């Protein structure tokens, strides 16, 4: 009987560890610059990736501007602008970003992100 209770305890413990370590959401990390390029950008990417590991979310580094469309963004719950600058999206991509935010999904702007798409 003691053995059964111990087995049940371990099974429950492993279940909670597995559930708590599942990814909570998926973030798109945008680092595009069309102006000032911050030297700290690399360190920021490393920091966000470390946060993702510690807090159980996935982060994908944005690399292909042509992929920034409604279908591609469906997989993400938040877009993070990290040290972005200037006019990084064309008018179609700007509308995609607007629809993403209007749908209730998240946006985070870090540091010079306020210098991005300001017009």
Domain ranges (residues) in the chain: 23-115
* 91 phi, psi to nearest 5 deg: -65, -35
Q: In angstroms, rounded to a whole number, what is the distance separating the alpha carbons of residues 106 and 104? A: 7
Mean pLDDT within 10-22: 53
Question: Does 64 have pLDDT greater than 90?
Answer: no
pLDDT 10s digits, 28-37: 999 988 877 7
Strand locations in the chain (E): 26-30, 58-61, 78-82, 106-110
The pTM score is: 0.79
Mean pLDDT within 104-114: 90
For 79-89, b/e burial (b = at least 16 CB within 10 A) is: bbbbbbbeebb
Higher per-residue pLDDT: 15 or 74: 74
Please provide the CATH number assigned to the domain covering 23-115.
3.40.50.880
pLDDT 10s digits, 77-97: 999 999 898 899 999 999 999
Question: Does 8 have pLDDT greater than 70?
Answer: no
């Amino acid at each position: 009987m003691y053995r059964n209770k111990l087995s049940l305890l371990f099974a429950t413990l492993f279940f909670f560890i597995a559930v708590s370590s599942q990814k909570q959401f998926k973030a798109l990390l945008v680092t595009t610059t069309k102006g000032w390029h911050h030297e700290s950008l690399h360190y920021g990417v490393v920091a966000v990736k470390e946060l993702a590991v510690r807090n159980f979310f996935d982060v994908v580094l944005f690399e292909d501007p042509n992929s920034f469309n409604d279908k591609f963004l469906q997989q993400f719950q938040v877009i993070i602008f990290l040290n972005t600058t200037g006019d990084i999206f064309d008018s179609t991509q700007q509308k995609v970003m607007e629809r993403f935010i209007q749908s209730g999904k998240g946006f985070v702007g870090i540091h010079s992100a306020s210098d991005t798409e300001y017009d």
